[in-house]
Structure 1
Amino acid sequence: MELTGILLAGGKSSRMGTNKAFLVIEGERNIVRLKRKIERITKVLLLVTNDPQNFSFLELPMIEDIKKGQGPLAGMEAGLTTSQTDWNLIVACDLPFFDEKVVHVLIEKAKAAPEAQAIVPVIDGREHPLYALYHKSALRLVEENLSLGKRRIRDVLSQLRVEAITTDDLLKAKMTDVEIEKAFFNMNHPEDYKWANSQNFE
């Protein structure tokens, strides 16, 4: 399956107090770590940011939100509008333990559910919509919600044909409980970053 990677780097990082994309993990900016990993599994990687000058060092195709100030849903709109593939991997920039094995499970679920418009991890009852696959056909509902002033990804998911992957799916793919827990850990607060830096890495 050909995938376009859509890496969202447009957040204000107000809770962290600094740009989460530039946090250093194991001597490397997290955005660089994500680029390296996502490029291995996607045909094209797009970076969605409203500050392209700050990310030029990545040498990636960059796109800005069509509707500014509307949160990650606007980033999804920009990415899906630009994408040339049916399926797209949309990822937030605050995942220090992004795991390609999760993506392979998402892809297998998409292959088994041809009518789906989104494949979203649901781990311990919590959706992870920014570590998920979206079909190009989801764009229409993303656009409609934004045009109505609705910015919540959850609202869009409630209108799409969504298939979930669960902890059981990941365990069947030979991921451990620890790998699963870390894969979905995101850095929102300074203490999250401190914890991430205390862990063992790949």
Structure 2
Amino acid sequence: MITGVILAGGLNRRMSGRIKALLPVQGQPLFLRQLKEMSSICKQVIVVTNEPEVLRPHLSTVSNINVQCITDQYVQKGPLSGIQAASLIASEQHMWIVGCDMPFISAEAAKAMAMLCQEANLDAVIPVLDGRVHPLHGIYSRIVGSEAEVLLKQKQFRLMGLLDHIDWKAVENDFFERKNIPIHFATNVNTPEEYEQMLANLS
């Protein structure tokens, strides 16, 4: 099994201050949509947020899954701090890490990447779609948390910088196409315009 991790610690500046995790998508907050998808392969999901009091009330609608809301130890230092915090309590060897602004995350994609990560004994498996690296929606061994902490202590906060220090493999479009997995799972919404466009494409 895999521990699911939703990183929801950002300041939402580009979304005009709206909390991206709570953006409505087909009648439910975005992060609950993610929890539903994660629950098909994850017994534990960790939501890393600096506003747990805002997100926790919505968790009363979730059943049959162990969801924990935690805060960063290194506050407002980006996704790297979320990975570090989640790794400390992850119950499984591998973590499926996504951003809270990704409405189409795919359990099938995560499962395929986790299998590769385990079989090849890698630290991470990361999608590289149309030539672009997507470190979120990646599969990471929980041991990368210690490397993330080293970087945080050195005041190196770039998530891409973590990849320079771990053993990871890229999986490209053809990996998912062979498994009939649509590659829109890495889509994220950073701005009100992207959010409205995403909703229009759903209708």
TM superposition score normalised by structure 1:
0.92
- Give the Cα separation in 2 of the matches to 1:184 and 1:90: 11
Higher mean C-alpha deviation, range 82-91 or range 163-172: 82-91
Letter in 1 for 2:28: E
Deviation at 1:84, TM superposition (A): 2.2
| CA contact 1:109–1:165 (8 Å) conserved in 2 | no
| CA contact 2:95–2:140 (8 Å) conserved in 1 | yes
The question of 1:133 aligning with 2:139 is answered yes
| CA contact 2:104–2:186 (8 Å) conserved in 1 | yes
- Look up the SS of the partner of 1:77 in the other structure: helix
Structure 1 segments, 4+ long, off by >3 Å, are none
- Give the Cα separation in 2 of the matches to 1:154 and 1:191: 26
Matched pairs, number: 195
Runs of at least 5 residues in structure 1 that lack an aligned partner in the other structure: none
Higher mean C-alpha deviation, range 95-104 or range 15-24: 95-104
Runs of at least 5 residues in structure 2 that lack an aligned partner in the other structure: 61-66
TM superposition score normalised by structure 2:
0.92
| Structural mapping, 1:111-122, within 5 Å | 111-114=118-121, 116-122=122-128
Q: CA RMSD in A?
A: 1.3
> Of 113, 116, 122, which aligns to 1:106?
113
| CA contact 1:141–1:159 (8 Å) conserved in 2 | yes
- Give the Cα separation in 1 of the matches to 2:7 and 2:28: 18
| CA contact 2:85–2:145 (8 Å) conserved in 1 | no
> Of 140, 164, 167, which aligns to 2:170?
164
- Give the Cα separation in 2 of the matches to 1:138 and 1:98: 22
| CA contact 1:4–1:87 (8 Å) conserved in 2 | yes
Q: Percent identity of the aligned residues?
A: 29
Map of 1:38 onto structure 2: 38
- Look up the SS of the partner of 1:129 in the other structure: coil
Q: Deviations over 1:77-116 (max 9, x none)?
A: 10011112211111111011112221122123213311x1
- Give the Cα separation in 1 of the matches to 2:177 and 2:114: 16
| Structural mapping, 1:27-66, within 5 Å | 27-57=27-57, 58-59=59-60, 60-66=67-73
> Of 150, 153, 170, which aligns to 1:147?
153
